[in-house]
Amino acid sequence: MTFDWNAHRFSGGVLALDLANTVIFRENPERLLDRFGDLVELPRFAEAAAIFRIGEWGEVQFHPPLAQKGIEALIGIREAINRLFRGAAREDGLKAEHLSAFLRLGSDLVCNEPEERDLRLPNLSEKKRELSLGAAAFLSAISLLEPARLERIKICPNCHWLYFDESRNRSRRWCDMNVCGNRAKARRHYNRNVKQAGNNHA
């Protein structure tokens, strides 16, 4: 296994957006890559998410789906979260079609949770919680619908990930300055040099 679910993969800042970001380059069909194309990544993501999202959920265990139906439901809510918040980040507002699909799929996921589970929105409760990954992502997404939080959701211009900008004046430009910010800087530098070289030869 060479793929590492490291801090960079959790640049979304909240579970809902991290899940949406398991697809890279969403706005470029030629480069688009779904990390869940290989299903062994599902439990690995769930395990890493419990570590990186401890600030959102406190101590938690996310159960990845095992059966085909559960996997389809997880991918369904992932895509619904992506459509809903990508539209919001583009300042299109929340569209009826996207919001209703999100609520419908989320309602099914919540309905399938075992009775004893605590379905409050993400919080740092003292008791360790256990949730299915899909239901947890839905609850995480619900807590983003509040207008003050919704307006902090942005799209990274480099990798097209969604991220929650917690900076005081909402000035964050990249999902991760150390990765996407630096790549953009390197590209600008390269383009400038190519242009200069071209001028010298003219």
Q: Which residues bind Zn ion (CB under 5 A)?
A: 156, 158-159, 161, 175, 180
- E strand intervals along the chain: 23-24, 33-34, 60-63, 129-132, 153-155, 162-164
* Alpha carbons 178 and 104: distance in angstroms, whole number: 37
* CA dihedral of 15, 53, 32, 138, whole degrees rounded to 10: -10
Cβ closest to Zn ion, residue 49 vs residue 175 = 175
Cβ of residue 183: shortest distance to Zn ion, in angstroms?
Answer: 8
Cβ closest to Zn ion, residue 18 vs residue 64 = 18
Name the one residue in this structure whose structure tokens are 């983003």.
144
Cβ closest to Zn ion, residue 144 vs residue 156 = 156
* Alpha carbons 144 and 13: distance in angstroms, whole number: 11
- The token pair that represents 41 in the structure block: 């990544």
Cβ of residue 118: shortest distance to Zn ion, in angstroms?
Answer: 33
**Of residues 169, 201, 175, 194, the one with CA closest to residue 10:** 175
Cβ closest to Zn ion, residue 161 vs residue 164 = 161
